Chain A
Amino acid sequence: MNHLPLIIKREYFTKVKNKSFVIMTFLSPLIMIALIAVVAYLSQLNNDKQRTISILDETGYLKDVFQNTDNTTYTKLNGLELEDALILVKEKEDYGLLHIAKVDSLSVFADNVKFYSEDSPSLSIMSGLEQKIEKRLREMKLQKDGVSIAQIEASKTNIEIQQESFEGEKSSKIDNVVKLAFGGAAGYLLFMFIIIYGNMIMRSVIEEKTSRIIEVIISSVKPIQLMMGKIIGTSLAGVTQFVIWVILGGVLMVVVSTIFGIDLTQVQTPQQEMMNQAIQAEGAQAMAENLIVAIGNLPMTNLIIAFMFFFIGGYLLYSSLYAAIGAAVDNETDTQQFMLPILMPLILAVYVGVFTVIEDPHGTVSTVFSFIPLTSPVVMLMRIPFGVPLWQQGLSLLLLIGTFILAVWFAAKIYRVGILMYGKKPTYKELFKWLKY
């Protein structure tokens, strides 16, 4: 008698119809978007703030260096003493006063630049000022040595090393960023999925124990069927929730940004001003082109297939362990001692993924961890965009499936005994004994 579809159906619908699940499903994206909107709005406010910086340049060297921008106005003070200038700036409530004292030679120029302000000035503004002055000073020094402005301009070279693999595949630096983004997103998604829905499975097993329905059910179906039904049903509910989140999030994003005119994709930071300039210099056009090429360069088919296999494999492996924990204990507070051994490899996997895969996707550490079954789903998913030989993927997947079968066997044993044990908190020793029942 195969009751699996029936159990899956029940698990799915009870989850989906559950009030808190429904609320979470629809409220989460709302809250997320609202948060982003608030942050975006606030940073926009922050950016709209006008700053006036007064400049007292006694040397006259920096005449044309400071151009007004949207947020910053530069006022040049001429023929004032420093003391008077300070009083004036204070009265005007300017952001600050940049003072360049009169110098005899360019070599001591650098020691005579000072910035006066009420509060300590922001880091980005200071470095902005410094860059401008440095650039001007360099030009002046070179001019003094007889180099013309035109020559300086001509000497500027922008090197973009063109990358090409031995197979003749062209790539660029941005490739690595894209690969990292794809791998990271996949690995992180799996991590989140395991934590959220693994817990849900665990809770639903505990619920059956505490409501004492388990013995009624178990006299009709095999424990392993119940366990698998639970895992699959809950996962489907999870996928449903995820899909709704993505769709709802996307729609809300568009709606909010059109209604309020806030560009949510650009949560502005003060640094962005500088970044924008940098991008303009390099040419946004080229960057976008590179990006498209980079995405095109990804091993898409491999990526999608591997994602499905490793995602499902990794998720099932962990969720069967979660189910076993749920069966072993009586209430949620008792789960702590068993959670650690599950969370450790998972967190380790994310750390390995973030720290070593970026540095060296095919190094020893990354490779080893992409074979160890408890960490392999996350690490392998992060590695695959960088191109992993198929035999490695296959071997890793084989190991994962092997471990998964072992874990299900183990979990089913624990589950079978544990669901009928009430009233005591088991130790690891007892769990081991259960395996032999």
Chain B
Amino acid sequence: MNDLLVANSVSKNFGKFKALNEVSIAVPKGSIFGLLGPNGAGKTTLIRIINQITMPDQGTVLLDGQPLKPEHIRDIGYLPEERGLYKSMKVGEQCLYLAQLKGLSKTEAKKRLKYWFEKLEIGDWWNKKIQELSKGQAQKIQFVVTVLHQPKLLIFDEPFSGFDPINANLIKDEILQLREEGATVIFSTHRMESVEELCDHIALIHKSNKILDGKLNDIKRQNKTNTFEVGLESLDKDRVFAEIQDKFEVLPATFRNLNDDIKLNIKLGEHNSPNDLLSFLTSRAQVHHFVEVIPSASDIFIQTIKNN
């Protein structure tokens, strides 16, 4: 069993509204799993089902091969998108309380909090009230509370919102380190560049249905269009261009390049390999730039949603 979390055709209705329609996902152990989708697609509902906040109408969720049960709450750390802390409570007291709710003993919680507070250099906040902290500072506390009980599964819903780039980076590194230490991460966000940076696997939910999932690289491979960015230098531009156009499908290109001679996106048909193209080009001009166009997560997101 290599998947930490498996959801089998999970459905959930709110009255007449179908929030999830037979959604299945499998989150491999030790991966960072991107749960993507437009607003209102059903991501939060799925996350809440995993957290046992709401119960599914149909389908099962397995954690480590076992159906979800109340004890699993200790194994999950959840940072919701709608998050906050008791404003008038002191930072230290609050962290202790939330840690104890997750099943830690008071002494253990204190020990771990000390470690984290030192690590994030926030030790002197212990006796401050949350309302005295800035939004970003409160977010840091929230992050610590989420990971404190060392859960097997971490669920982050838009974890970087409210952080400046420096702190966002800090948190990103912490997430990566937690993964190194063996945690599995479900990561829900609209920021595609962080998906690109962090996720190994993704699942795309749209209008209550899962419409795409798998390894990010596999998905990219499936979605690539066999297109190459080409930058050429030639004395006889027009002739070379005409020859290329004769043999291949050519699209305009906009990549950055030092030379502004010939810039093209060339799409290969099934019978042509990249090497064919390259030898064709080298025989006619100086090749400065030859790169396969890999679709970005953002492109895949937009394209898949459009097609559905």
List B residues 187-246 near A (Cβ within 8 Å). none
25 A-B residue pairings within 8 Å (CB atoms) = A3-B101, A6-B100, A7-B101, A10-B97, A14-B89, A207-B86, A211-B86, A212-B84, A213-B83, A213-B85, A213-B86, A215-B53, A215-B78, A215-B82, A216-B79, A216-B83, A216-B142, A217-B98, A219-B73, A219-B76, A220-B98, A422-B82, A433-B15, A436-B15, A437-B15
A18, B145: Cα distance in complex, Å: 24
7 more CB-based (< 8 A) A-B contacts, given A3-B101, A219-B78, A220-B101: A1-B71, A6-B101, A213-B86, A216-B80, A219-B53, A219-B80, A221-B101
The 10 closest A-B pairs by CB, nearest first: A212-B84, A220-B101, A215-B80, A211-B84, A219-B51, A219-B78, A213-B84, A212-B82, A433-B15, A218-B53
Check: B128 CB closer than 8 A to any chain A CB. Answer: no
Chain B positions within 8 Å of A, measured between CB atoms, are 14-15, 48, 51-54, 70-71, 73-74, 76, 78-80, 82-89, 97-98, 100-103, 142, 145
> Which residues 1-49 of A have a CB within 8 angstroms of B?
1, 3, 6-7, 10, 14, 18
**Residues of chain A in range 326-371 having any CB-CB distance to chain B below 8 Å:** none
Contacts of A218 in B (CB 8 A): 53
Q: How far is the CB of B58 from chain A (nearest CB, A)?
A: 15
Task: Tell me if A420 counts as interface (CB < 8 A to partner B).
Answer: yes
In the bound assembly, the distance between CA atoms of A352 and B212 in angstroms comes to: 65
With a cutoff of 8 Å between Cβ atoms, the chain A residues found around residue B78 in the complex are 215-216, 219
Tell me the complex Cα distance, A250–B71, Å: 50
Neighbouring B residues of A213 by C-beta, 8 Å = 83-86
Residue of B with least CB distance to A437: B14
Complexed CA–CA distance, A420 and B102 (Å): 20
Asked whether B101 lies within 8 Å of A211 as measured between CB atoms, the reply is: no
B103–A1 touching, CB < 8 Å = yes
> For chain A, which range describes its interface: under 10, 10 to 19, 20 to 34, or 35 or more residues?
20 to 34
Contact with B along A210-248 (1 / 0, CB 8 A): 011101111111100000000000000000000000000
Q: A187 to chain B: closest CB distance in Å?
A: 35
B64 shortest CB reach to chain A, Å: 18
Q: Which residues of B lie under 8 Å from residue A212 when comparing CB positions?
A: 82-84
Nearest neighbor of A6 in chain B, beta-carbon distance: B100
Which of B73, B82, B142 contacts A220 (CB under 8 A)? Answer: B73
With both beta carbons as reference points, the residue of chain A lying nearest to B77 in the complex is identified as A219
Q: How far is the CA of A212 from the CA of B162 in the complex (A)?
A: 15
Q: A1-B70, A433-B15 are in contact. Are A216 and B103 (CB under 8 A)?
A: no
Are B97 and A6 in contact (CB-based, < 8 A)?
A: yes
Q: CB-CB contacts of A389-426 with B at 8 A, as 1s and 0s?
A: 00000000000000000000000000000001010000
Interchain nearest-CB distance for B222 vs A (Å): 35
Q: In the complex, A7→B100 CA distance in Å?
A: 10
Kindly provide the distance from the CB of A242 to the nearest chain B CB, expressed in whole angstroms: 23
Cα–Cα, bound, A213→B95 (Å): 12
Q: CA–CA, A163 to B25, complex, Å? A: 81
B174 to chain A, nearest CB (A): 18
Q: Across the interface, which residues of A come within 8 angstroms of B74, CB to CB?
A: 1
Residue in A closest to B55 when the chains form the complex, CB atoms: A437
| Smallest CB separation, A42 vs chain B (Å) | 41
Q: Of all chain B residues, which has the CB nearest A13?
A: B93
A215→B54 CA distance, assembly (Å): 11
| B83, A14: Cβ atoms closer than 8 Å | no
Question: Distance (Å) between the CB of A1 and the closest chain B CB?
Answer: 6
Query: Whole-angstrom distance between the alpha carbons of A157 and B87 in the complex?
Result: 73
Known: A436-B15, A437-B14. A220 touches B102 (CB 8 A): yes
Instruction: Give CA–CA (A220, B73) in the complex, Å.
Output: 6
